[in-house]
Chains A and B, each alone.
Chain A
Amino acid sequence: MEAADRAEQFIPAGLASLRIEADEVDLAVMSAAHQMFWPAIRALLSFDLGDLEAERNPDLSRAPEPT
């Protein structure tokens, strides 16, 4: 994950793997987005939720079923 922390590595590698073209403006926007989102995404991924499983096809118009 540490390599992904650095926009200059994460973004070109990701773009190359998906064959997405990007110009300098795209890269500047992506770098700013990475700085904004990546630390929070890392924190989210390491958030210990124990054995909590996501609801399958949750009915979002209602409260969750009691566990």
Chain B
Amino acid sequence: MSALDLSLRGQAAAIAAGEADAAELLDAALARIEERNPAINAVVATFPEESRAMLAEAPDGPLRGVPVVIKDEWPLPWRAQRFGAAELLAPTAPGESGPYRALRDAGAVIVGVGNMHELGSGSTGNVSVYGAARNPWDTERCPGGSSSGPAAATAAGLVAGAVGADGLGSVRFPAAYCGLTGLKPTFGRAAMSGHHMAAVTTLIVSGPLCADAADCRLLGATLFGEELAAGDAAGLRIGVVRDAVSEDVTPEVREACEMAIEELRSATGGEIREIELANLEAATLAAILIINGESLGGVSPERLNDLNPEVSPINRGFLKYRMLLPAAAIAQAGRIRTLMRRRLAALFADVDVIAWPTIPAVAPPLEAPLVELPSGTQTADQANVRGAALANLTGIPAISVPVGLSSDGLPIALQLQAAWGADALLLDAAEALERANGRRWVDARPPLAQAEPAET
């Protein structure tokens, strides 16, 4: 087995122990990208010279010599981010972003830039200036977005871990569609500098996408710049909501998530508590309005009139529509944010995590990203965002963990959300769930990744 098929922590340990050669690992990753990437369009840029320079200068950190992919959302010293688009609304330039510095200082080697949904504006990954990324589990399906490339690259075994960004679910959706574990950190904890919206965003965070929770703990700690100490999640109090987020989902998703919640309860010796969390729909809209306002701040009408014609028609029209939304709605969104933050603060006195499906249906077709739910046919974006936006709106951390495969072999995922700063608890809970199901889902590999499951 190639060292590239080890887990992220396995690769780091093998290099540290002298059992794997970091230069050979980098070459293997570049060769793997050449071999497998044409089928999934996950990696949109490689730069062997700069990657080798990173390796040559890599300090003896926790990820020394380990290849990783970073989303097209941050600048690198040799490349400006493109945000998956022909043109950004904000100026960009090459530079040292926070995630770049965090990876470099940990000794990691950035081997490629990951594709993403254009302007970060979709949960599917099927719209990008680079062309759609594809799901390694079924290349005719969406990989999820907006961190489509980081997820597809990791699921296909091009790398063992990648850095994404999450403003409205953009780490969690692709993690769910691609059968990975993805952490959306507490707002402000993970490296963000250099992002073109870093100064204005109150929703976007960087986050790791890896096969399992232990790898997310390692890559997450790198992005956090602090240890995410492991615990056991004993006596976990799991809150469940009887609402559309848990009930307006496909039968397969519902069954797998309910089973996983019970497994988690049993594994931790915990309990399941039904909780009330009203106005989730308003919270979702509030998050959308806030991110719209933050992304359009300082953009003039003239700027939109001069937009690059290669920006997709849907984003061109949507950007113009967003300019028309009343300021009163954004102000009201701020009040909804306060309401939901207070409600969550009260709820987290009674429960440790809140659990519901990350996605209501498995990855839809690239050509028509629609999902069939009990309430009817919806766009995947509409259906997905309602389960994700709360964490971004309020700042709490959330994690998506694989909990099953559908009858057509596509991943199903459960989302856990916890109180501010309880990122490590989410990882503990995810690991408890992995142990409970015998690592069945985190070790599952898509057809494209033909190697044996990674040994830890």
Contacts and interface: CB of A to CB of B under 8 A. Distances in A.
Contacts of B304: 20
B338 interface: yes
A15 B325 CA distance: 11
Given A30-B317, A54-B338, A61-B421, A45 B187 contact: no
A25 B188 contact: no
Interface string A1-26: 00000000011001100111110011
Interface string B129-157: 00000000000000000000000000000
A18 B323 contact: yes
B345 A60 contact: no
- Overall SS of chain B's interface: helix
Given A63-B345, A64-B338, A29 B305 contact: no
Given A19-B305, A54-B337, A64-B341, 16 more contacts: A20-B301, A20-B304, A22-B320, A25-B313, A26-B317, A29-B313, A29-B321, A33-B317, A41-B329, A53-B338, A54-B331, A60-B187, A60-B395, A60-B420, A61-B189, A62-B421
B205 to A, nearest CB: 10
B328 A45 contact: yes
A41 B325 contact: yes
Nearest to B286: A44
The 5 A-B residue pairs whose C-beta atoms are closest, nearest first, are A29-B317, A60-B395, A54-B334, A14-B324, A61-B188
Which of the listed residues A14, A41, A64 has the most CB atoms from chain B within 10 Å of its own CB? A64
Contacts of A58: 202, 337-338, 341, 395
Nearest to B394: A60
B285 A44 contact: yes
B285 A26 contact: no
A47 B87 CA distance: 37
Contacts of A30: 317-318, 320-321, 324
Nearest to A33: B321
17 contacts: A11-B321, A15-B324, A18-B323, A18-B324, A20-B320, A22-B317, A25-B313, A29-B318, A30-B321, A41-B285, A45-B328, A52-B338, A53-B338, A54-B338, A55-B341, A61-B189, A62-B395
Given A52-B338, A61-B421, A45 B332 contact: yes
B336 to A, nearest CB: 7
Interface string B341-363: 11011001000000000000000
B257 interface: no
A17 to B, nearest CB: 9
B281 interface: yes
B404 to A, nearest CB: 30
A60 B202 contact: yes
B18 to A, nearest CB: 40
Contact of A52 (B313, B320, B335): B335
Contacts of B285: 37, 40-41, 44
Contacts of B345: 63-64
Of B186, B281, B301, chain A has the most CB atoms within 10 Å of the CB of B301
Contacts of B281: 40
Contact of B305 (A14, A21, A61): A21
B337 A55 contact: yes
Contacts of A53: 335, 338
B377 to A, nearest CB: 14
A39 to B, nearest CB: 10
B211 interface: no
Contacts of B189: 61
Contact of B336 (A14, A36, A49, A61): A49
Contacts of B202: 58, 60
A65 to B, nearest CB: 9
Contacts of A52: 335, 338-339
Contacts of B286: 44
A47 B324 contact: no
B282 interface: yes
B395 A61 contact: yes
A11 B341 contact: no
A15 B301 CA distance: 9
B456 interface: no
Contact of B318 (A27, A33, A47, A67): A33
B421 A34 contact: no
Nearest to A14: B324
Nearest to B279: A47
Nearest to B188: A61
A20 to B, nearest CB: 5
